[in-house]
Structure 1
Amino acid sequence: MCGMPQQPPVRSTPSPPPRPDASMSLLTNVMDHALDDGYAEATARRKAEGQAGMPRTLKAKLGLAGGLVLAALVVTVGAAQARITAPVVAKERQELIDRVDSETKAADKLQSDVDALRTEVGDRQRKALEKHGGDQGELVALLSGATEVHGPGVKLVVDDAKETSQGDGSRPRESTTFADTGRVRDRDMQRVVNGLWQSGAEAVAINGQRLTSFSAIRAAGDAILVDNRPLVPPYTVLAVGDGKKLSTAFQDSADGQYLHVLQQNYGIRASISAEGDVRLPAAPSLTVRTAKPMATGAGKGAADTGKGTS
C-alpha cells in the first residue's frame, strides 16, 4: 500500500514587533530628510557646473555700494546745477531790489511834490482872503484858519482809559456796538470840539491839526481822522479864547457834562486848564467858496465862514 510521502510540518516564524513610531511615518520622513532631495540635487548640480550662488553678505555689500554711488551722483548733479543757476537767481533778486528802490524814490518824490503844491495853494488862498476881505480880511483869515494864531485859551487833554471797561449800559454809550467802551471815539471828539466852539473858542486845533469850518472828524477802524489825517491818543485840544471863562463855560455845557460822564463811567481820562498863551498853526489846506458883497459898502466882501464840526 503506497502511502503519501510525509512532509515535515510547517512551523510559523514569529513576525518582528512593530516600531513604536510606525504610526508617525510622515513625521519621521520629514525628520530624516530635512533637506529636500530636489534642493540637494540642484545645489550639487550648480556646484558641479561652477555656478555656486554668491554669499548673501557679498550681495548686500554690493547693493549698498551701488546705492551710495547713485546717491553721490544725484548730489553731484544737483550741486552742479545749483552753481550754474545761482548767478541767475542772484541777478534777478538784485534787479527786483533795484526796482523796488527806484519805485520808492519815485513815490517819495511825488509825495514831496504834492506837499509843495499843497503849501503853495494854501499860501495863495490865504493871500486871496487877506486881499479881498476888505476891513474884515484879518477876521476872515482867522475864522477860516488861514493864518497862525496865538493868545490866551485852554488846553484840554483827552485819553483812553487805562483799563477797558464795559460800562453799565445806562449812559451815553448804551447803544454802542463796541466792547471796548474805554476808548475815545470820533463822536466823543466831535462833541468836545463843538462844545468848545459853542463856549466861545475862536480857534481850535487837535494834536496840531487846525480845524476850520469845513473840518470833519471821522473814524477809520480804531483810528480818529481829522480831515483824513489820523491822530493818536492822547488827544490834545488847544482853543484860543478867554481862558478861565472858556474853561468854565465848557465844563458847564452839555458837551462838558458828556465828557464828565465818560470819565466817571468808562474811565476815560480828561483834564482841562486855562493857559496864558497857546499857539495854533494855520490849516494845511483851505477850501475857498464864493464871496458875496456886503450890503454896507461896495467892494467889500467876506467869505462864508462858520463854526462847527461834523
Structure 2
Amino acid sequence: MEYTSGAASWRKVLRRAVGVLLPRRRRPGWSVGVPLIAAAAGLLFTTTATTAGGTPLREDRRPQLTQLIEDRRDQVAASEKEAARLRAEVEEQTATLADTDGPIKAQRDRAVASRQAAGFTALTGTGLIVELNDAVRRPDQPLPKGASNDDLVVHQQDVQAVVNALWAGGAEAMSIMDVRVLSTSAVRCVGNTLLLHGRVYSPPFKIVAIGDPTALQQSLSVSAGVREFRQAAADYQLGYKETVNTVTVPAFEDSTALQSAKALQ
C-alpha cells in the first residue's frame, strides 16, 4: 500500500477535476449546439405564451372587434345626448345674458350669423344624391371571372373619391347616411361597413350634396377614383346611381373641436 502526503493528494484531485472540466479532445459541435437550440426554443415558447395572454393566437377576433364598435357607439350616443343637453343650457344662459349685456349680445349675433356657413343649420335646395352599394349575389353564386371578394364591396377610397369630387364640384353642404359632414370630417371603413362620427353604417351608402347638379356631375365624371368605381360597378355588378332632386342636408351635430391642424406654408 502506497501512502502519499496531503499536498500530493490535493494535487491529484485538482488534476482530475481540471481533466473533467477541460478535456484534451475538443467536444463535437452538436454537443455545444444542442443546449443553445434548447435555450432558443424555450425563449420562443415563453415569448409566444406572453403574447397570447392565455388566448389562442389564431383565434378569429372579428366578433370582439364588432362588439367593441357596438360598445363605443353606445358610449358616443350617450356622450352626444349629454353634449346636446349642455349646449342647450349654454344657449339658454347666453340668451338670458344677451338681454342685459351688450358685448355678449354682439358676439351672440355674430355667432348666429355664422351658423349656416359653419354647417350648424339644416339646408334644403337642389342637389345630387349618389348611392354606392356592394354587389348583390347569392351565397352559392360563383365569383365573376378574375374577381375576388374585395372586388365586390364598396371600400373607403370609393366613398372618399365621391365626397372629394362633390366638394371639388362646388357642393355647398353635404351629408353621408343623413349625417352632416364638413370638409374636415373623416370617412373610415371597418370591413364593408362605414364608420362616421362614431357610428357604424352598412351599405348602400347614400351621399347627398346641395349645389349645381351639372357642376357636381361634371366633377364626378372627371374624378379618377369615381371612374374606377364606375368601371368596377360595370364589371362586377356593384351599385352606383346618381339622382338629381331637391334634397335636405341636416345640421352638423358632432364636436367642433379640431383634432389636428397644419398651417399653410
CA contact (8 A) 2:129 2:206 kept: yes
Structure 1 position 156, deviation (Å): 0.8
> In the alignment, which of 217, 220, 228 is matched to residue 247 of structure 1?
217
Change (3 A) 1:111 1:243: closer
Q: Distance in 2 between matches of 1:181 and 1:110?
A: 33
Partner of 1:187: 157
3-state SS in 1 of match to 2:127: strand
3-state SS in 2 of match to 1:152: strand
Matched, 1:207 2:181: no
Structure 1 gaps of 5+ residues are 1-108, 170-177, 290-303, 305-310
Superposition map of 1:1-310 within 5 A: 114-121=79-86, 132=107, 138=113, 140-163=114-137, 165=143, 168=146, 179-275=149-245, 277-288=246-257
Q: Distance in 1 between matches of 2:183 and 2:161?
A: 15
Q: Distance in 2 between matches of 1:167 and 1:150?
A: 44
CA contact (8 A) 2:128 2:210 kept: yes
Partner of 2:10: none
Change (3 A) 1:121 1:271: farther
Q: Distance in 1 between matches of 2:210 and 2:106?
A: 24
Change (3 A) 1:166 1:188: farther
Change (3 A) 1:259 1:179: closer
CA contact (8 A) 2:131 2:204 kept: yes
Q: TM-score, normalised on structure 1? A: 0.47
Structure 1 position 213, deviation (Å): 2.8
Q: Look up the equivalent residue of 2:163 and give its one-letter code.
A: V
Structure 2 gaps of 5+ residues are 1-73, 96-104
Q: Distance in 2 between matches of 1:279 and 1:209?
A: 11
Change (3 A) 1:110 1:234: closer
What is the aligned length? 170
Q: Look up the equivalent residue of 1:225 and give its one-letter code.
A: L
Q: Look up the equivalent residue of 2:249 and give its one-letter code.
A: L
Compute the RMSD of aligned alpha carbons.
3.5
Change (3 A) 1:274 1:137: same
Q: TM-score, normalised on structure 2? A: 0.54
CA contact (8 A) 1:118 1:285 kept: no
CA contact (8 A) 2:124 2:210 kept: yes
Which structure's CA Rg is the greater one?
1
Q: Look up the equivalent residue of 1:239 and give its one-letter code.
A: A
Q: Distance in 2 between matches of 1:238 and 1:112?
A: 23
Q: Look up the equivalent residue of 1:189 and give its one-letter code.
A: V
Per-residue deviation, residues 70-116 of structure 1 (Å, max 9, x unmatched): xxxxxxxxxxxxxxxxxxxxxxxxxxxxxxxxxxxxxxx99886343
Partner of 1:98: none
Q: Look up the equivalent residue of 1:273 and give its one-letter code.
A: T
Percent identity reads: 25
Q: Distance in 1 between matches of 2:248 and 2:218?
A: 21
